[in-house]
Amino acid sequence: MSESGEPLEPLDAFDTITEELRLFDSDLGQREQIVVLTKLDLISDLSEMDLVRSKFQARGQELVCISSVANKGLESLLAIIQERLLYTKRAA
């Protein structure tokens, strides 16, 4: 939430969380992240989701959209997590 009580835009919320992580531990702010937009089932206009996705992509960040309730996007998220873990394991 913003100071006025309005919900933050997803990109602003992401930046705030990343900055808080960095302030807590500078290493956390530098780690690779998987950005997940949840509650996809509550978005009535999917063009809004596409706009948010394009904003993240413009910054070189992939956005994964999921709905746990509707069981949407979860397989994609799990595949991305698996891929990143395998890559990390090979690099170690």
Rounded mean pLDDT, 54-65: 92
Whether 33 shows a pLDDT value over 70: the answer reads yes
Other Cβ atoms within 10 Å of 19 Cβ, number: 11
User: pTM of this prediction?
Assistant: 0.76
Do 43 and 84 fall into the same domain? yes
Bridge partners (DSSP) of residue 65 are 37
Other Cβ atoms within 10 Å of 78 Cβ, number: 12
Query: Band of the pLDDT at 1, cuts 50, 70, 90?
Result: very low
Rounded mean pLDDT, 20-24: 93
Do 21 and 48 fall into the same domain? no
Do 23 and 47 fall into the same domain? no
Give 70-76's long-range contacts (Cβ < 8 A, gap of 24+).
70/40, 70/41, 72/40, 72/41, 73/40
Token pair recorded at residue 14:
């992401």
Do 22 and 56 fall into the same domain? no
Whether 13 shows a pLDDT value over 80: the answer reads yes
Residues spanned by the domain of 19: 1-31
Task: Give percent of the chain with pLDDT exceeding 90.
Answer: 48
